[in-house]
Amino acid sequence: IKNIGVLTSGGDSPGMNAAIRAVVRGSIYYDIEVTGFLRGYEGLINNDFIPMDRKSVANIIQRGGTILKTARSEAFKTVEGRKTAYENLKANGIDALVVIGGDGTFTGANVFSKEFNFPIVGLPGTIDNDLAGTDFTIGYDSAINTVVDAVDRIRDTAESHDRLFIVEVMGRDSGLIALRSGIGVGAEAIMIPEANMNADDILHKLEHSRKDKASKIIIVAEGDDTGGAFKVGEILQEKYPHYDTKVSVLGHIQRGGKPTCMDRVLASRLGVVAVEGLIQGESGVMVGQINREIVFTPFDHAIKHINAEKVSSKWLKLIDILSF
Ligand code: ATP
């Protein structure tokens, strides 16, 4: 391998810069040139790239977002779009790719690498943690720490006013941000798509949780079945008129900010391993970490939704026990 292309695609996540840095420095260490494509797969199709050297990734490990920018590319979903991407890669002498993103990014990478027999290794860069083949994705730890920090502040004001707060966190199809941050903030209950809970279940939980507690916090994942935090707030306000019910939607602050040390270390390790994997002939796989060990997982499997496994009933029970 002489020249590795690197790109970030789909939703951004804190730690993507640390991952880019690791891919660039790892490539240079092994005497491989490295080229950064801008705006995900759009950069491959539009031939929009920058050669990268050691210095180009200096002072970025601590920065959120992605210096390579990211985008969703409709063109890459078409055969013609992917053909143009392949021709550009060939013309630029790029012989392998590292793609950093989530399930959509890996779906595209999987199609492309099979279509053109092109070596690709993926790095799990998403705040959702919804990929198989890794305990944690790059960005998840930063996102849940942002949630915890925000909800701690909400707890202060909730406690002062005897308020019931419904806080909505990101996760259209995945409740993993809600689950872990919910435990971290001592939430009374969480509502997530994987648990099939409705507002009645929450009412039941509130009735059985500590009566003497001045403030109550419910964490709702965006993709929850009830229809989001405002809907849940309406239902609970009706049932608990004595509580001053407030709704807070955290939104995009969850995607920004400095990556935590956990995410920086994970991104750094996986980024270098992605390069080493390509050198050893790996392709069509995502590199992840399970029980501290490095694992290569075929894209087909990495994108299988295994949230149910990661959520598992023991975590839900933990929340029940702690808020009882
Ligand atoms: P996140 O989960 O953080 O949002 P993601 O990688 O899942 O990240 P998506 O927008 O779903 O984000 O996917 C990123 C890009 O991957 C898409 O814009 C598209 O270019 C490409 N992609 C997704 N699905 C396919 C597909 N079936 N064929 C080709 N390319 C695809």
- Residue to mutate, 9, 80, 111, 252, ligand 1, most ligand atoms under 8 Å from C-beta: 9
Atom of ligand 1 nearest to the CA of 13: 3
Q: Tell me how far the alpha carbon of residue 32 lies from the centroid of ligand 1, in angstroms.
A: 27
Find where tokens 């796989």 sit. 285
More confident residue, 290 or 195: 290
Dmax (CA) for the chain in angstroms is 69
Shortest-distance Cα residue to atom 11 of ligand 1: 104
Any idea which of 24-33, 189-198, 208-217 has the lowest mean pLDDT? 208-217
Q: Tell me how far the alpha carbon of residue 302 lies from the centroid of ligand 1, in angstroms.
A: 14
What six digits make up the tokens of 291?
Answer: 């029980």
Q: Among the residues of 135-251, which ranges form H helices? A: 140-161, 176-184, 199-208, 229-239
Give the pLDDT score at 308: 62
Averaged confidence pLDDT in the chain: 93
Cross-sheet strand order for the sheet of 120-124? 49-52, 33-37, 3-8, 96-101, 120-124, 285-290, 293-298
pLDDT band at 36 (very low <50, low <70, confident <90, very high): very high
Residues 293-320: pLDDT tens digits?
999 999 999 998 676 667 778 888 888 8
Query: Of 229, 268, 209, 248, whose CA–CA distance to 16 is shortest?
Result: 268
More confident residue, 115 or 227: 115
Cα(227)–Cα(193) distance, integer angstroms: 10
Query: Of 115, 12, 116, whose CA–CA distance to 63 is shortest?
Result: 12
pLDDT at 125 over 90: yes
pLDDT band at 94 (very low <50, low <70, confident <90, very high): very high
pLDDT band at 47 (very low <50, low <70, confident <90, very high): very high
What six digits make up the tokens of 140?
Answer: 């998840």
Any idea which of 124-138, 175-189, 298-312 has the lowest mean pLDDT? 298-312
Residue 60 CB partners (closer than 8 Å, separation 6+): 17, 18, 20, 21, 67
pLDDT at 266 over 80: yes
Q: Which of 12, 95, 128, 141 is catalytic?
A: 128
Rounded to an integer, the average pLDDT of 40-46 is: 98
ipTM of the complex: 0.95
Q: Tell me how far the alpha carbon of residue 291 lies from the centroid of ligand 1, in angstroms.
A: 27
Cα–Cα distance list, 277 to 94, 213, 265, 281 (Å) = 16, 52, 18, 6
Query: Of 153, 148, 170, 175, whose CA–CA distance to 251 is shortest?
Result: 170
More confident residue, 58 or 318: 58
Grouping H, G, I as helix, E, B as strand and the rest as coil, residue 287 is: strand
Task: State yes or no: is 128 an active-site residue.
Answer: yes
Rounded to an integer, the average pLDDT of 238-242 is: 83
Query: Of 306, 284, 318, whose CA–CA distance to 108 is shortest?
Result: 284
What six digits make up the tokens of 222?
Answer: 């965006």
Q: Would you tell me how many other CB atoms lie within 10 Å of the CB of residue 267?
A: 30
pLDDT at 196 over 90: no
Give the pLDDT score at 43: 98
Give the pLDDT score at 250: 98
Q: Are 290 and 134 in contact (CB under 8 A)?
A: yes
Give the pLDDT score at 211: 65
Q: Are 147 and 120 in contact (CB under 8 A)?
A: no
Q: Tell me how far the alpha carbon of residue 176 lies from the centroid of ligand 1, in angstroms.
A: 20
> Residues with Cβ within 6 A of ligand 1?
9-11, 41, 72-73, 76-77, 101-105, 107-108, 111, 126, 128
Dihedral angle computed from the Cα positions of residues 9, 12, 16 and 20, in that order, rounded to the nearest 10 degrees: 30
Any idea which of 15-24, 181-190, 253-262, 298-307 has the lowest mean pLDDT? 298-307
pTM over 0.90: yes
Residues that constitute the known binding site for Mg(2+)? 103
Rounded to an integer, the average pLDDT of 102-131 is: 97
Q: How distant is the alpha carbon of residue 176 from its chain centre? A: 10
Give the pLDDT score at 163: 87
Residues that constitute the known binding site? 11, 21-25, 72-73, 102-105, 126-128, 155, 163, 170-172, 186-188, 211, 213-215, 222, 246, 252-255
Query: Of 232, 134, 156, 146, whose CA–CA distance to 184 is shortest?
Result: 146
Residues 247-260: pLDDT tens digits?
999 999 999 999 99
Find where tokens 């083949």 sit. 133
Atom of ligand 1 nearest to the CA of 77: 29
The DSSP bridge partners found for residue 8 are: 100
What six digits make up the tokens of 150?
Answer: 């925000």
Residue 109 gets the label, from left (phi > 0), alpha (psi -120 to 50) or beta, of alpha
- Residue to mutate, 8, 69, 76, 100, ligand 1, most ligand atoms under 8 Å from C-beta: 76
Cα(65)–Cα(71) distance, integer angstroms: 12
The DSSP bridge partners found for residue 246 are: 165
pLDDT at 198 over 80: no
pLDDT at 167 over 80: yes
Find where tokens 């790029």 sit. 94
Atom of ligand 1 nearest to the CA of 130: 2
Per DSSP bridges, beta strands 3-8 and 96-101 are parallel
Q: Tell me how far the alpha carbon of residue 182 lies from the centroid of ligand 1, in angstroms.
A: 28
Shortest-distance Cα residue to atom 20 of ligand 1: 73
Cα–Cα distance list, 181 to 5, 129, 139, 192, 213 (Å) = 35, 13, 14, 12, 20
Residues 201-213: pLDDT tens digits?
888 877 776 666 7
The amino acid that residue 16 corresponds to is M
Rounded to an integer, the average pLDDT of 220-233 is: 91
